[in-house]
Amino acid sequence: MKFEDLNLNHSLLKAVKDQNYIHPTAIQQQAIPLVLKKHDILASAQTGTGKTAAFALPILHHLINEKKDNSKIKIRALVVTPTRELAIQIGESFTNYSKYNAIKNTVIFGGVNQVTQTSALNNGVDVLVATPGRLLDLMGQGFISLKDIGYFVLDEADRMLDMGFIHDIKKLLEKLPENRQSLFFSATMPKNIVGLSSQILKFPKRISVSPVSSTAETIQQFIYYTNKKDKKKLLLHILKDKDINQLLLFSRTKHGADRIVRDLKKNNIEAAAIHGDKAQSQRQKALQSFKDSKIRVLVATDIAARGIDIDKLSYVLNYDIPNESETYVHRIGRCGRAGEKGVSISICEPEENVYARDIEKLIKQKITEVKGHPFPQTDKPMNAKEKKEFEKEKNRKKQEFFANRNKNRNVGQAKHRNNRR
């Protein structure tokens, strides 16, 4: 099947051609005809399946074909998504697909000054892409009315609930018109997600593409077993491979992400981190530098990485093995998209061996172990007693650190007071 077979508006087909899309992905083949027929959709689709185009293209088709009165442009389509990065990405997709028509969109999210966003809203937009908090905020201030919404998309619903947005979503539902088409996308479908969907959708058509337990066939998966103390050295060893010219690296924690960036820079490897403690402008700058190949390694936490979409990204590295197997699938789904080849590399310390086994059970395949590298795993995972002692010592050191810091702070303040006398 080709995009021309989907009966989309000619301006959209022209824009799609500019993006070098020829064959629609599985989710696009299933969803686009149903959305064109005005069905509500409940779609289970993992990262990297092309779901943004699956809802954006048919919504734009409807908006182009609907007659507009000559008064101010009104918001007719609303896409709600959990993170700023994902909102920006979806906004970029709408802009790309609207290249040859007059449909206007804007993106709103928190963490930045609202003036630019409210200015765009005042000029009028057809499509609004938003994160829940900023959307409700600007609605409360009177900048946004949802009374003309004909199309509503809730994207990454599972992550939305994980991040605690359930109450915001329920508030939002109260403000939406009854007469609308609703599209609901989620990578996973636990009971609470299905329950939420039943409050949003009317007689939905259900679509399922690549359940979360599956990884794209185009992604080669490798794992290096090593000791905790050798992880830094192993990473540098891996990066000696010049073919890895662009790497998205996942860290479990924000502090860990910053530490990795510092270590890489010390070794003359250009890197930047994106996580929740970074200002929005810093995150966007880091992502753009990565896309422009100005930096070689982008280090991200899982939540910050949600929504990152980098064309032809070939390499993803798990510096920490996630304790939730599904997270592994989401992470490596960042590469090898749209039929391109990708490589996933995981670094596994002894305490994470059990997580690696859980992942292999979920994806129903053995991850290829890289043997013969300079930093093999020789340590054994700690038993319960050792873990208890380790945690006890870690907490003692943490308390000691904070006690010393407060003591030094108090001494410094006392000196400052004495100097002022």
Tell me the two tokens of residue 399. 């308390």
Amino acid at 187: A
Residue ranges in the chain modelled with pLDDT below 70: 46-48, 67-71, 210-216, 303, 306-308, 338-339, 382-395, 397-398, 401-402, 405-421
Nearest alpha carbon to residue 52 among 187, 149, 163, 185: 185
Residue 117 is predicted with a pLDDT of 95
Hunting for tokens 């479990």 — which residue is that? Answer: 252
Other beta carbons within 10 Å of 18? 12
SS3 26: helix
Nearest alpha carbon to residue 158 among 186, 184, 183, 185: 186
Hunting for tokens 């909102």 — which residue is that? Answer: 87
Separation of alpha carbons 194 and 182, rounded Å: 14
Residue 225 is predicted with a pLDDT of 97
Please provide the size of the chain in residues. 421
Residue 63 is predicted with a pLDDT of 95
Please, what is the end-to-end C-alpha distance for the chain in angstroms?
82
All domains of the chain, ordered by start, with CATH?
3-209 (3.40.50.300), 219-369 (3.40.50.300)
Report whether 135 contacts 108 (CB < 8 A): yes
Hunting for tokens 């329950």 — which residue is that? Answer: 195
Other beta carbons within 10 Å of 171? 14
Residue 218 is predicted with a pLDDT of 80
Report whether 6 contacts 170 (CB < 8 A): no
Residue 208 is predicted with a pLDDT of 86
Residue 341 is predicted with a pLDDT of 83
**pTM across the whole model:** 0.61
Residue 357 is predicted with a pLDDT of 92
Report whether 97 contacts 56 (CB < 8 A): yes
Separation of alpha carbons 214 and 251, rounded Å: 22
338: left (phi over 0), alpha (psi -120 to 50) or beta: left
Report whether 108 contacts 83 (CB < 8 A): no
Residue 71 is predicted with a pLDDT of 66
Contacts of 315 (CB under 8 A, 6+ apart): 244, 246, 247, 248, 335, 342, 343, 344, 345
Other beta carbons within 10 Å of 29? 18
Residue 237 is predicted with a pLDDT of 97
Contacts of 257 (CB under 8 A, 6+ apart): 251, 273, 274, 275, 299, 300, 301
Residue 79 is predicted with a pLDDT of 97
Separation of alpha carbons 143 and 135, rounded Å: 9
Nearest alpha carbon to residue 98 among 120, 126, 118, 76: 126
Q: Is 340 exposed, middle or buried (0-12, 13-18, 19+ CB in 10 A)?
A: middle
Separation of alpha carbons 78 and 91, rounded Å: 11
Residue 329 is predicted with a pLDDT of 86
